[in-house]
Copies of this chain bind each other. A is one copy, B any other.
Amino acid sequence: MARIQNNKNETRKEFITSAAARLFREKGFSATGMRDLAGEVGVEAASLYNHIRSKAELLQEICFRTANQFSAQLNELELDNSQTSLQKVEAILRHHIQWWVAKPDDMLVTNNESKYLQEPYLSTFMNERRLYVRRIEAIMEDGIRKGQLSGIQPYSAVLTLLSMVRGIEFWHRTKKNISAEALEENMVKHFIDGLRQR
Does A115 have its Cβ within 8 Å of any Cβ on chain B? yes
Alpha-carbon separation in the docked complex, A198 to B198 (Å): 11
Cβ of A153 to closest chain B Cβ, rounded Å: 5
Most chain B CB neighbours (cut-off 10 Å) among A159, A168, A198: A159
Q: Mark A119-141, 1 if CB is under 8 A from B, else 0.
A: 00000000000100100000000
Interface stretch, picked from A14-22, A65-73, A181-189, is A181-189
Does A53 have its Cβ within 8 Å of any Cβ on chain B? no
Cβ of A113 to closest chain B Cβ, rounded Å: 8
Q: Mark A160-174, 1 if CB is under 8 A from B, else 0.
A: 101111111011001
Does A193 have its Cβ within 8 Å of any Cβ on chain B? yes
Does A83 have its Cβ within 8 Å of any Cβ on chain B? no
Does A194 have its Cβ within 8 Å of any Cβ on chain B? yes
Given A160-B167, A171-B159, A152:B186 Cβ within 8 A: yes
Identical copies of this chain, number: 2
Main secondary structure of the interface of A (DSSP, over half): helix
Please report the total number of A residues contacting B with Cβ < 8 Å: 42
A150: chain B residues within 8 A (beta carbon): 193
Alpha-carbon separation in the docked complex, A189 to B30 (Å): 39
Cβ of A186 to closest chain B Cβ, rounded Å: 4
Residue of chain B at shortest CB distance from A165: B163
Alpha-carbon separation in the docked complex, A119 to B90 (Å): 41
Q: A150-B193, A192-B194 are in contact. List 16 more A-B contacts (CB 8 A).
A: A28-B115, A30-B30, A30-B31, A152-B189, A156-B182, A156-B186, A156-B190, A159-B167, A159-B168, A159-B170, A162-B170, A163-B165, A163-B167, A166-B166, A190-B195, A198-B198
